[in-house]
Chains A and B, each alone.
Chain A
Amino acid sequence: MRDRMGRLLGFAVALLASIAITAIPYRASAQTVDDIIKKGKVVIGVNTTTPIFGLMGKDGQPEGYDPDVARLVGKYMGVPVEFVSVTGANRIPYLLSGQIDMVIALFGITPERALQVSFSIPYAVEAATLVGPASRQVKTIDDLKGLRVGVPRGAMQDLILTPIAQEKGINLMRFDDEATDLQALISGQTDLAGTGLLVNRTLNRNDPGKDYQVKLVLRELHFGIGVRRGSTDLLQWLNTFIYTIKNDGELDAISRKWRELPLENLPVF
């Protein structure tokens, strides 16, 4: 009986301790540019599982559109960049808990997300699409009936399709990241995969013969740099930075290098 009480007490103490420990670092506050410069490095969350925008390079460093923009942030702030790999699901928690200073990871600008973070003006344009082999005939959302559609959890395709999946008869399958989502398409486990505008190029290189195409454009997106709400100083600096690289051609160069397309006209707000 006493042993049981002792164990229960020990367990309760452990539980309370773990709550206490997890509660403390979660309160991360707003940041200024000076905070980051004083820290000596800028910690940027990037996606490393998406072709074109963020992959892990052969040298172990992230490469792609977003990592290149992140490197420019470091260059203009005058501090080295420390990369942290994030996914669609954990990028906001990482940002809010202070593990990263900003998110440059295919972060689509939406008002729901803006309740949690602040977005810079757009630095890239993309679209939430569904991609499939040429043999798959899909023209509208109604054509998705009965099909297995893979999407990355929490991505725009998930947010758009989940509310209508049941009434439209879509078999929606949520994967933890875009890489697994695309793998499922290639191995035939899904009929369509939620991804971006240009990924079918990569798919056709890796799995030739199926002629992967964009079947449906669900929504056009713009990517912004995400920072904690209330970081108005940092946000202003980032907007100034994006305006600069748009005008001096550096962002266009990044777009041509990774998307093989010139930079489109991006809206500002």
Chain B
Amino acid sequence: MSYVFQFSTVWREFDHLLLGAWLTLRLSALAMIFGLAVGIAGAQAKASSSRLLRGLVQGYIEAIRNTPFLVQLLLIYLGLPSLGLRLTPDQAALLAMVVNLGAYATEIVRAGIEAVPKGQIEAGRALGLKPWQIFRFIVLMPALRTVFPALGSQFILVMLASSVVSVISAEELTAVTDTIVARNFRSFEFYFVITGIYLVMSLAFQALFAGIDRALFARWADHA
């Protein structure tokens, strides 16, 4: 007796899958925004004159980049309560993704900042720009433009990593699918379809990033 594919079961549950996809998109988008903020702050901290601050940030980066995301997630959700901080699954999932993305984003943004020619910063000072103006217009925007592709890929990786948060009962596309499959046992049909959905979401984000790149960074195109 061989297996009979039943894709009709997937179409019946498609509204649940769409809900799951929406949860993934929302979680990922929030993680990307906050993760980028952490990355920019971290890159700034790494350029600071305080050895302590640089060391702390480096420690954070090494801890995150050399440990599995799943372990970080379980530590935040199951471990933090022992220290008094109890987060809901959705909060823990978002925090874990932000902390994870922040570490990688720090390194990426730092590389972008270092790529800004020093002459530009000196020119900014010569023109009498304040430090925050120098940072925002001369350093940050060109830096982000330079590393935008790398940031974009890291963002997509974090979105794909979100599929793991079902382990702490946070709901997103994979979790919703696991629950459906636990009832009707149609693993192949469902996981095949959500592979396609993740693919579509990934391509959609890439298109979004390309659009942002064009809209935001056209002003900072190299004229050299």
Contact = CB atoms under 8 A, between A and B. Distances in A.
B166 A176 contact: yes
A147 to B, nearest CB: 14
A116 B78 CA distance: 35
A174 B81 contact: no
Interface in A70-129: 88-90, 92-93, 96, 112-113, 116
30 contacts: A23-B188, A28-B2, A28-B3, A29-B2, A89-B182, A93-B185, A96-B185, A116-B185, A153-B179, A154-B178, A154-B183, A158-B182, A173-B169, A174-B169, A175-B169, A176-B167, A180-B78, A184-B78, A184-B168, A184-B169, A187-B78, A187-B79, A187-B81, A187-B82, A187-B86, A188-B81, A189-B78, A189-B86, A229-B1, A230-B1
Interface residues of B, number: 25
B178 A176 contact: yes
Main secondary structure, interface of B, reads helix
A159 interface: yes
A124 B181 CA distance: 26
B175 interface: yes
Of A90, A92, A154, A229, most buried by chain B (CB within 10 Å of CB) is: A154
Given A153-B182, A174-B178, 11 more contacts: A23-B188, A27-B3, A28-B2, A93-B188, A153-B179, A162-B179, A175-B167, A176-B166, A184-B78, A187-B79, A189-B86
Give the interface residue-count category, chain A.
Answer: 35 or more
A153 B178 contact: yes
Contacts of A22: 188, 192
Nearest to A176: B167
Contacts of B187: 90, 93
B89 interface: yes
Nearest to A177: B167
Contacts of B81: 187-189
A196 interface: no
Interface of B: 1-3, 74, 77-79, 81-82, 86, 89, 166-169, 175, 178-179, 181-183, 185, 187-188, 192
A215 interface: no
Given A22-B188, A184-B78, A175 B1 contact: no
A127 to B, nearest CB: 19
Interface of A: 19, 22-23, 26-30, 88-90, 92-93, 96, 112-113, 116, 150, 153-154, 158-159, 162, 173-176, 180, 183-184, 187-189, 228-230
A29 B188 CA distance: 17
A159 B78 CA distance: 25
Contact of A180 (B86, B168, B192): B168
A229 B167 CA distance: 31
Given A92-B185, A180-B167, A174 B86 contact: no
Nearest to B92: A189
Nearest to A18: B195
B179 A29 contact: no
Nearest to A155: B182
A174 B175 contact: yes
